């Protein structure tokens, strides 16, 4: 699991993050008090049925950042973080 304690996120874990606006997938490369850095990140605009997406890894609308770009996610806007046990989505759909 990508969570080490209630307040720390494990570096190098693949995660699915829901924020107050969108969701993201990626590999955690760094964590600070204010940010989580994700490599191979993608914005997930639509998961479809959420439970089905979490089970299968199938997502309805995906916009990957190009070339494995690192993205910083503000921790203050995060709703939840969960392990992503599937291949990270790298194809736009």
- pLDDT exceeds 50 at position 6: no
- Reference 41, options 17, 59, 20, 7; nearest CA is 17
Q: Quote the pTM value.
A: 0.88
Domain residue ranges in the chain: 14-83
Coil, helix or strand at residue 68: helix
Each residue's pLDDT tens digit, 26-52: 999 998 889 999 999 999 999 999 999
Task: Please state whether beta strands 61-64 and 71-74 pair in parallel, antiparallel, or not at all (unpaired).
Answer: unpaired
pLDDT at residue number 32:
87
Q: What is the pLDDT of residue 28?
A: 93
Fold of the domain spanning 14-83: SH3 type barrels. (2.30.30)
Is the model's pLDDT at 63 over the cut of 90? yes
Residue 10 has pLDDT above 70, yes or no: no
1 pLDDT higher than 50: no
Number of residues written out for the chain = 93
């Amino acid at each position: 699991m990508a969570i080490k304690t209630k307040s720390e996120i494990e570096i190098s874990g693949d995660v699915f993050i829901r924020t107050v606006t969108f969701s993201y997938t990626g590999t955690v490369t760094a964590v600070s008090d204010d940010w989580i850095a994700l490599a191979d990140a993608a914005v997930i605009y639509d998961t479809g049925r959420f439970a089905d997406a979490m089970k299968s890894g199938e997502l309805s609308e995906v916009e990957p950042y190009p070339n494995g770009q690192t993205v910083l996610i503000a921790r203050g806007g995060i709703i939840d973080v969960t392990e992503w046990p599937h291949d990270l989505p790298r194809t736009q759909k």
